[in-house]
Amino acid sequence: MPDSPACSIGSNKDTVNAIACNPLSTRGALALVSTVLAVLAGCASQVPKAGGATPAPATGTAPSSPSTPPRPAPPPAVVSPLMSEQRWLEEWFRGTPVVIALADSSTLAVDVPLVNSFDAGSSSIKPALAAVLDRVATSLRRQPAMRVSIAAPADANGGAALTASRTQQVREHLVSRGVSATRMAAAGAVRAGTAVQLRIVVTPQAIGHLDDATLPVPASGVKPTAAAAPGVKR
């Protein structure tokens, strides 16, 4: 059967025209198109919808929980005035025979070896002890709630008179550095030949008088009345 001019391959190179002229080619093309459409349908079913949740990973591993936030740093420790003076004095006399330590929560002990404080049989203060007394006086001026007790023992062969004289010299030195004599006290009996002992003690501040006139007047115009503490005159 002669080829139709419309189906002539030599006269027309168009693929569609060639498929249309060949029944076998037409069936193959239809099968190919069906296969392509099936593949496209399968791909479309796996595409997530807009706004939908993302599928979980195939591994089956659960998502990790957020890490625990770090704990806040603890507040800085509160340093008492006595501890502050202890650190300050330690900085001054580090590496010397002077011993500075807290005897308890309200007492700072400052010990100066006797050989660095007085010559034998003398009550004249040596430069090393004078340097310590100068710094102790600075601490006392800075901390009005603190007092100091003094023990300036005699030599091993000395007596009570030498002890009293040395203690008086220490008191006078502190007074000359601006410390009131009312803030000093002589220690009790001390053993001869031991170190000069200064004890800086924190004492509570007494309330001498409550004055209502110093209290602010409230908005209502009624002046408050402070209750008198037991044993306190108004």
Q: Determine the structural domain holding residue 192 and report its residue range.
A: 81-202
- Give residue 146's pLDDT: 96
Question: Please, is 151 exposed, middle or buried when counting C-beta atoms within 10 Å of its C-beta (0-12, 13-18, 19+)?
Answer: buried
pTM: 0.57
Contact between 111 and 154 (Cβ < 8 Å): no
* Percentage of residues in the chain having pLDDT higher than 70: 58
Q: Under 8 Å CB-to-CB from 43, ≥6 apart: which residues?
A: none
Beta partners for residue 110, in sequence order: 100, 198
Q: State the average pLDDT over residues 207-234.
A: 48
Token look-up 């501040």 returns: 205
- Give residue 143's pLDDT: 95
- Residue 33 in any domain: the answer is yes
Whichever domain contains 152, its CATH number is 3.30.1330.60
Q: What is the pLDDT of residues 12-31, one digit of tens each?
A: 445 445 544 455 455 665 66
- Residue 216 in any domain: the answer is no
Residues 90 and 157 occupy one common structural domain: yes
- Rounded Cα–Cα distance for residues 206 and 197 (Å): 27
Query: Picking from 44-48, 76-80, 173-177, 185-189, which range would have the lowest pLDDT averaged per residue?
Result: 44-48
